Amino acid sequence: DAGVIQSPRHEVTEMGQEVTLRCKPISGHNSLFWYRQTMMRGLELLIYFNNNVPIDDSGMPEDRFSAKMPNASFSTLKIQPSEPRDSAVYFCASSLDRFYTGELFFGEGSRLTVL
Partner 1 sequence: GDSVTQMEGPVTLSEEACLTINCTYTATGYPSLFWYVQYPGEGLQLLLKATKADDKGSNKGFEATYRKETTSFHLEKGSVQVSDSAVYFCALKPPTGGFKTIFGAGTRLFVKA
Least distance CB 88 / partner 1 (angstroms): 14
Of 57-96, binders to partner 1 (CB under 8 A) are 91, 93, 95
Helix then strand then coil, in percent of the chain rounded to 5, is 5, 55, 45
Least distance CB 85 / partner 1 (angstroms): 19
Interstrand relation of 5-7 and 10-13 (parallel, antiparallel or unpaired): unpaired
Residue with smaller CB distance to partner 1, 47 or 79: 47
108 near partner 1 (CB under 8 A): yes
